[in-house]
Amino acid sequence: MPSIHCAARTAVRTVFALLAAVALTACDSTALQFRNTDITGANFGTDFSLLDPEGNTRSLSDFRGKAVMMFFGFTQCPDICPTALSRATEVRKLLGDDGQHLKVIFVSVDPERDVPEVLKAYTAAFDPDFLGLYTSVENTRKVADDFRVFYRKVPTGGSYTMDHTATSYVYDPQGRLRLAVSHQSSAESIAADVRILLQTASSRP
């Protein structure tokens, strides 16, 4: 832990000047050592206006005080979406009591099929606290663009599937976009990063 390192550094400072410099670097950077991609300062994905399954308009600012993990997908997805949402369930479990300070949001890129009832039942099957959001077909494109999320309808067997960006975004409790989480990231790495975001927020004056 940083405090031990820093104490040790103070003790040996005069003798091991070089070692001390290394330890100092370690102490300063520990707070921002994320395991997922740090995109702090990103100028996209700043907010959204979407509908929840009850028809209420929701925006990112509704969740101030909580970390938010946001993912775009569609409920007919047999693969990436269930995996990402299962992982989010796992992250909340790993966070223990802090899990309640993480809001998981699933935004549909397929509002034609992801009608409110389906969306609600789908997210609830993973965790009743997860929130499914949607908007009109036209607005979906606009929101996805705002978040640099790609999606596309691909015809298959008289129906269609969706190609879509599999990256999840994580916001800190102040509502700032902080992390891009790849599909391959582990629940453990996300939980560790969210913990940092929650701690940093609570230690703020």
Partner 1 sequence: MKMKIVASLFATLVSSATLAQVAVTDPWVRATVPQQKATGAFMQITAPADARLVEARSPVANIVEIHEMVMDKDVMKMRAISGIDLPAGKAVELKPGGYHVMLIDLNAQVKEGDVVPLTVVIEGKDGKRESIELKAAARPLNSSGVMPMHKH
Which residue ranges make up the site for partner 1 (CB under 8 A)? Answer: 75-80, 82-83, 85-86, 89, 113, 115, 117-118, 121-122, 125-126, 150, 154, 156-159, 161, 163-167, 182-183
Q: Would you tell me which residues interact with Cu ion (CB under 5 A)?
A: 73, 77, 80-81
Q: What, of partner 1, Cu ion, none, does residue 138 touch, CB below 5 to 8 Å by kind?
A: none
Q: How far is the CB of 143 from partner 1 (least distance, A)?
A: 17
Number of neighbours of residue 21 by Cβ within 10 angstroms: 11
Q: What, of partner 1, Cu ion, none, does residue 141 touch, CB below 5 to 8 Å by kind?
A: none
Nearest residue (CB) to partner 1, 46 versus 86:
86
CA dist., res. 120 & res. 153, Å (int): 22
Q: How far is the CB of 66 from partner 1 (least distance, A)?
A: 22
CA dist., res. 43 & res. 50, Å (int): 20
Q: What, of partner 1, Cu ion, none, does residue 154 touch, CB below 5 to 8 Å by kind?
A: partner 1
Place of tokens 């009109």: 136
Q: How far is the CB of 73 from Cu ion (least distance, A)?
A: 4
Number of neighbours of residue 179 by Cβ within 10 angstroms: 27
Q: How far is the CB of 153 from partner 1 (least distance, A)?
A: 12
Q: What, of partner 1, Cu ion, none, does residue 121 touch, CB below 5 to 8 Å by kind?
A: partner 1
Q: How far is the CB of 86 from partner 1 (least distance, A)?
A: 4
Residue type, 138: E
Q: How far is the CB of 168 from Cu ion (least distance, A)?
A: 12
Q: What, of partner 1, Cu ion, none, does residue 182 touch, CB below 5 to 8 Å by kind?
A: partner 1
> Which of 44-50's residues contact partners 24+ apart within 8 Å by CB, and which partners?
44/146, 44/147, 44/148, 44/177, 45/146, 45/147, 45/148, 45/169, 45/177, 46/146, 46/177, 47/175, 48/107, 48/133, 48/143, 48/146, 48/147, 49/135, 50/107, 50/133, 50/134, 50/135, 50/139, 50/143
Spatial CB neighbours of 77, under 8 Å, sequence gap ≥ 6? 161, 162, 164
Q: What's the full length of the chain, in residues? A: 205
Q: What, of Cu ion, partner 1, none, does residue 37 touch, CB below 5 to 8 Å by kind?
A: none
Nearest residue (CB) to Cu ion, 34 versus 74:
74
